Amino acid sequence: MSNYEYELLEVEVSDGVATVTIDNPPINLMTSTLFRSLAKCSAQLADDDDVRVVVLRSAVDGFFIAHFDVAAILEFPIDGAAQEEPDLGGFDRMCEAFRTMDKVTIAELRGRVGGGGGEVSAACDMRFGDRETFAWNQMEVPLGILPGGGGTQRLPRLIGAGRAMEVVVGAVDVNADTAERWGFLNRAYPGAELSAAVDALARRIASFPVSAVRHAKRAVLAAEELPLVDGLRRETFLFQSILRDPEAAPTMRAFLDAGGQTPEFESRVGDAMGELHARGDG
């Protein structure tokens, strides 16, 4: 088990799953301190080979992350003309670390998800929400600014340009049912079931062959980054690469030995594959 210590975060690592709990009451405001902790945490988790899945959740009732500290934004330097920088800024680098690390990243969203909290969530591989309390709002435009941590770039890719425009320019509250229908949330669960569902999925993924999970994530990310034909070539390369991993052949043989490719096994293949790895046959 790895040990991590950060201000405003608690991190526990168990069975390949790192659970990052955000604790900055009363609203989990994205202060400079919380941002620095998340940035350091994302970089260190990305380098930890013992971690296979990262779960982000909140300890503050009613809030995942409210938004970035407006008082801090007012102190941002504005001397001279605005210009496009050659490198990503710190917040973008932190979000990209969660998106591109070779771990699966999951945001568990309860309560208010606002501004920078929405941008961190959008950078994760998956998002699951509390059907009763989830409320998402990109509240920057009414402040006279715009989402500056990836919101205008990731949201159109997740939910489409028209819906992203409604969220960004309209600054409307989006509830869990709508966010699930639009594709921002993978699924919405009753609040009492959410953490158990997220934990079960995280541990299921962490039980699978680590190289297969990491290669699969790289292949899915290629769909965002490459034209289709180039993405297909990348997928073929990654498939050929994983076939050469020492775990691949024994895992496929264990599948056949457990009854794979029989009607009994295949009729319940989702549960059966989880059980195969839960008992260590894979």
pLDDT tens for each residue of 185-212: 999 999 999 999 999 999 999 999 999 9
Mean pLDDT of 132-159: 97
> Alpha-carbon distance 63 to 23, whole Å?
10
With a cut of 60, say whether residue 87 has pLDDT above it. Answer: yes
Q: Are residues 199 and 218 in the same domain?
A: no
- Domain-ending residue, one of 170, 205, 240: 205
Q: Are residues 26 and 73 in the same domain?
A: yes
Q: Is residue 2 part of a domain?
A: no
Which residue in the block uniquely carries the two structure tokens 């020492």? 246
Q: Are residues 133 and 242 in the same domain?
A: no
3-state SS string for 249-280: HHHHHHHHHCCCCCHHHHCCHHHHHHHHHHCC
Q: Are residues 256 and 188 in the same domain?
A: no
With a cut of 90, say whether residue 3 has pLDDT above it. Answer: no
Q: Are residues 258 and 193 in the same domain?
A: no
Return the pLDDT at 278: 81
With a cut of 80, say whether residue 266 has pLDDT above it. Answer: yes
22 with 56: CB under 8 angstroms? yes
Q: Are residues 165 and 249 in the same domain?
A: no
Phi and psi angles of residue 89, each rounded to the nearest 5 degrees, phi first: -75, 175
Return the pLDDT at 271: 96
How does residue 280 score in pLDDT terms, banded at 50, 70 and 90? low
- Domain-ending residue, one of 183, 205, 227: 205
Q: Are residues 31 and 160 in the same domain?
A: yes
User: E strands within 43-93?
Assistant: 53-58, 63-65
The overall pTM is greater than 0.75: yes
Specify the number of domains making up the chain. 2
Q: Is residue 126 part of a domain?
A: yes
Q: Are residues 118 and 186 in the same domain?
A: yes
> Alpha-carbon distance 140 to 167, whole Å?
10
Q: Are residues 118 and 197 in the same domain?
A: yes
Q: Residue 68: beta bridge partners?
A: 30
Q: Are residues 59 and 154 in the same domain?
A: yes
> Alpha-carbon distance 71 to 78, whole Å?
15
Sign, CA torsion 121/154/73/170: negative
Q: Are residues 73 and 201 in the same domain?
A: yes
Return the pLDDT at 1: 44
CATH of the domain at 118: 3.90.226.10
Which residue segment(s) compose the domain that 122 sits in?
9-205
Q: Is residue 1 part of a domain?
A: no
191 with 131: CB under 8 angstroms? yes
Q: Are residues 139 and 165 in the same domain?
A: yes
